[in-house]
Amino acid sequence: MYRVIIVDDEPVIRKGLRETIEWDSLGLEVAGEAADGVEALKLCRAIHPEILITDIRMPEMDGLQLIQEVKKLDFDVKITILSGYSDYDYLKAAIRLGVDNYLLKPIDNDELISNLKNAVSEIEKEAVVGRQIRQGSELLRSNTLRRLVSGNISLEELKEKAEFLNLSLGAEEHACAVCSMPRQVSTARREQLALELNRDVRFDSPGGSLTAFVDGDGNLALLMSHERTPHSRMDIQRALEAVTARAGVGQIALTIGVGRPAARVEEIQASYESARESLEYGVFLKNGGIVWYDGVPETSPQERTFDRIDYERMKGFIRRGDQDGLKRDLEAALEALAGETKPSLSQAQNLMMHIAVRMAECFYETYGSINAFKDPIDFDFAQLFALRRFSEMRAWLFELCGKLFSENRAVLGKGTSVVGLAVAYIAEHYREGVTLKQVAAECHINTSYLGQIFKKETGSAFTDYVNAMRVREAQRLLANPTLKVYEVAEQVGFTDYHYFLKIFKKVTGATPTDQRN
CA-to-CA separations, 384 to 7, 252, 287, 381, 407, in angstroms, rounded: 67, 20, 18, 5, 20
Q: Rounded to an integer, what distance in angstroms lies between the CA atom of residue 89 and that of residue 106?
A: 18
Q: pLDDT tens for residues 366-420? A: 665 444 444 443 566 767 877 877 888 888 889 888 888 877 665 444 434 678 7
pTM: 0.47
Read off the DSSP letter of residue 369.
T
Domains of the chain: which residue ranges?
2-107, 140-295, 304-401, 417-516
Of 82 and 267, the structure prediction assigns the larger pLDDT to: 267
The fold of 417-516 is Arc Repressor Mutant, subunit A (1.10.10)
User: Do strands 289-291 and 2-7 pair parallel, antiparallel, or not at all (unpaired)?
Assistant: unpaired
Contact between 405 and 324 under an 8 Å Cβ cutoff? The reply is no
Q: Which amino acid makes up residue 85?
A: Y
Architecture per CATH, 2-107: 3-Layer(aba) Sandwich (3.40)
Q: pLDDT tens for residues 107-140? A: 888 888 998 998 888 888 877 666 655 666 777 7
pLDDT above 60: residue 256 = yes
Q: pLDDT tens for residues 469-480? A: 899 889 888 888
Please tell me the CATH superfamily of domain 140-295, with its number.
Answer: Reverse transcriptase/Diguanylate cyclase domain (3.30.70.270)
Contact between 119 and 101 under an 8 Å Cβ cutoff? The reply is yes
Q: pLDDT tens for residues 84-101? A: 755 667 667 777 777 888
Least confident of 21-25, 227-231, 297-301: 297-301
What's the confidence (pLDDT) of residue 159?
82
Q: Rounded to an integer, what distance in angstroms lies between the CA atom of residue 228 and that of residue 219?
A: 27
Closest CA to 291 of 179, 456, 159: 179
Sheet holding 2-7, edge to edge: 28-34, 2-7, 51-55, 78-83, 101-104
Give the three-class secondary structure for 434: coil
